[in-house]
Amino acid sequence: MAANATDDRKNSAIPDIEALAHPTLDERGRQRFCSALRRFAIQDMPEAVRRDFEQRVKPAGEARGTQFDTARAIEHALEDEPIYQLYSSLRYNAQEMCFLSVQDEVERVLPDMIDVARDAAERNPAGGSLRLDPELEIPRYLDALDVHLTPGCFHNEWVADDVAQGAVVSLGARVFTASMSHRSWGGAARVMSRWIRHAYPDFQPQRMLDLGTSSGKNLLPYLEVFPDVEAHGVDIGAPLLRYGHALAEHQGAPIHFSQQNAEAMDFPDGHFDMIVSSFFFHEIPVKATRNALRECRRLLRPGGLMVHLELPATHLVDAWEDFFWNWDTEHNNEPFYTAFRAQDPIELMAEAGFTADRSFAHILPDLGAYPDRRDAFAWDEPGRPRHGKGGWYVFGSSLAE
Ligand SMILES: C[S@@+](CC[C@H](N)C(=O)[O-])C[C@H]1O[C@@H](n2cnc3c(N)ncnc32)[C@H](O)[C@@H]1O
């Protein structure tokens, strides 16, 4: 009997680590409130701030000779205005509350989550793997603050084999995006993989890498489009990787997760024919971006393709949009936003060894907003959506055979 029970366990599927968390009715209510508050703060309220700026603040400033052709000029004019201060404090608190709203449910089931992750790491029934490096030095740009107000950031651990930050980041992000229009969870990778299939119909990647993969939710959709690809994800945070590995093994997805700094990875030259990332570069200093892109060049084999989903570069948007994006630099513990966005991605890629004529930076149609559209938008195309509002900004390059 005991032997059978052991065999059953050995052969059983990995339970869904995410389904272990059960918010109470009160917690669920709070989470719904946080989702709605964040949507209001980030989608609806900026429109009211903009109207007030256009109708009142700007004309008054222009009458005094001020020009509003930069994000800094707009910010300077608005920072003492009550409507901007209300918007800014709502946006800050909504962001923080989304992550705080899932902490209790995670804490209650943490030992069970850790058991599931340990089981997945021991057995790898889907054929993936988890490689951690307890000696890996966490760069100061992540260690010095809780990035985008996620309590505990990405890498902190409090108990052996901790997965708490994986759960908080993953479940918190669900609250965070729950009521946002034009997008669905895992949407970024769905959009990118669908576009790659459409734009490069003969491209059949054998081995792919996702930089800053977190728990791999924006890596999994690539396996739907390229079922035979050998998928690798690197991240600095062990709790994210343990959690993501358990999720992938539960889903039967053979993903190889490793704890590495994307600035210097241990894969051999030319190891991958597809390298992707989403929401990664704006969180690291420009120097680290340069290092990571050099690593992409080293790791990409001839004929390979690289695509990164990011925040649109300053020179591609107007002053108001620039101002909107740069809010995070000072208020959301993402101090590299403005400096990253000030770079021309084509130049950054050229510095890393990619040729400008094979490089691109454009907006891809979101599946939710444009289910039938497959081509990237031209910058001057009438009705082109903004990043995050029906479209996603990507930059990338490819190598000749
Ligand atoms: C905003 S998250 C994006 C996560 C995921 N790509 C997504 O689309 O949801 C950025 C991730 O990059 C990771 N990260 C930051 N700096 C890194 C570095 N130097 N090397 C590897 N991962 C890093 C963080 O731990 C975090 O999980």
**Residue 394's CATH number:** 3.40.50.150
- From the CA of 211, how far away is ligand 1's center (Å)? 7
Q: Is residue 278 part of a domain?
A: yes
Give mean pLDDT, residues 132-141: 96
Q: Which residues pair with 272 in a beta bridge?
A: 300
Mean pLDDT of 105-117: 98
Mean pLDDT of the region 351-362:
97
Residue 201 lies in a domain: yes
Instruction: Establish if 90 belongs to a structural domain.
Output: no
Q: What percent of the chain has pLDDT over 70?
A: 95
| Of 118-122, 153-157, 263-267, the least confident | 153-157
Q: What is the pLDDT of residue 4?
A: 54
Q: How many CB atoms lie within 10 A of CB 6?
A: 10
The overall average pLDDT reported for the chain is 93
What is the average per-residue pLDDT within 245-255? 96
Please answer whether residues 97 and 345 qualify as being in contact, where contact means their C-beta atoms are separated by less than 8 angstroms.
no
CA 10 and chain centroid, separation:
34
Query: Ligand 1 pocket: which of 99, 176, 255, 283 to mutate (most atoms <8 Å of CB)?
Result: 283
Indicate whether 185 pLDDT > 50.
no
Residue 57 resides in a domain: no
E strand residue ranges, 245-378: 255-259, 272-278, 300-309, 359-365
pLDDT over threshold 60, residue 8: no
Beta-bridge partners for 277: 211, 308
Q: How close is the Cα of 73 to the center of ligand 1, in Å?
A: 31
The whole domain housing 328 covers 8-17+103-398
Residue type, 243: Y
Kindly tell me if the per-residue pLDDT of 5 is higher than 90.
no
pLDDT of 329 higher than 70? yes
Tell me the pTM.
Answer: 0.94
- The verdict on the CB of residue 249 being under 6 Å from ligand 1 is no
Neighbours of 160 (CB within 10 A): 7
**Neighbour count for residue 303 (Cβ, 10 Å):** 12
- What does the block give as tokens for 373? 């559209």
The pLDDT of residue 375: 96
What is the per-residue pLDDT for 342?
96
**3-state class of 210 per DSSP?**
strand
Q: Is residue 113 part of a domain?
A: yes
**Residues facing 321 on adjacent strands:** none
At 187 the pLDDT is 80
Give pLDDT, residue 69.
94
Among candidate residues 214, 179, 183, the one with its CA nearest the CA of residue 364: 183
Q: Where is pLDDT greater, at 144 or 78?
A: 78
Q: State the total domains in the chain.
A: 1
- For residue 109, give the 3-state DSSP assignment: helix
Q: What local confidence, expressed as pLDDT, does residue 180 receive?
A: 59
The pLDDT of residue 47 is 94
Of the candidates 45, 42, 137, 120, the residue with the CA atom closest to the CA atom of residue 332: 42
Q: What SS3 state is found at 151?
A: coil
* Domain-embedded: residue 53: no
pLDDT digits (tens, 9 = 90+) for 35-67: 999 999 998 999 999 999 999 999 999 999 999
Under 8 Å CB-to-CB from 273, ≥6 apart: which residues? Answer: 205, 206, 207, 208, 300, 301, 303, 304, 305
pLDDT at residue 3, as a whole number: 44
The model's confidence at residue 389, banded by pLDDT at 50, 70 and 90, is confident
**C-alpha distances in angstroms, 209 versus 18, 172, 265?**
24, 25, 11
Task: Give SS3 for 207.
Answer: strand
> Is 76 a domain residue?
no
Q: Quote the ligand 1 centre to 218 CA distance (angstroms).
A: 11
**How many CB atoms are closer than 10 A to CB 138?**
16
When pLDDT is averaged across residues 306-326 and rounded to a whole number, the result is 94
Q: Which atom of ligand 1 is nearest to the CA of 147?
A: 1
Distances (CA, A) of 330 to 72, 214, 222, 340: 12, 23, 34, 14
Pairing of strands 390-398, 300-309: antiparallel
How many of the other CB atoms lie within 10 Å of CB of 318? 10
Residue 22 in domain: no
- Is the pLDDT at 179 greater than 80? The verdict is no
Backbone angles phi, psi at 61, to 5 degrees: -65, -45
Q: What is the mean pLDDT of residues 150-164?
A: 93
User: Hey, which of 208, 214, 277, 328 would you mutate to test ligand 1's pocket, going by the most ligand atoms within 8 Å of its Cβ?
Assistant: 214
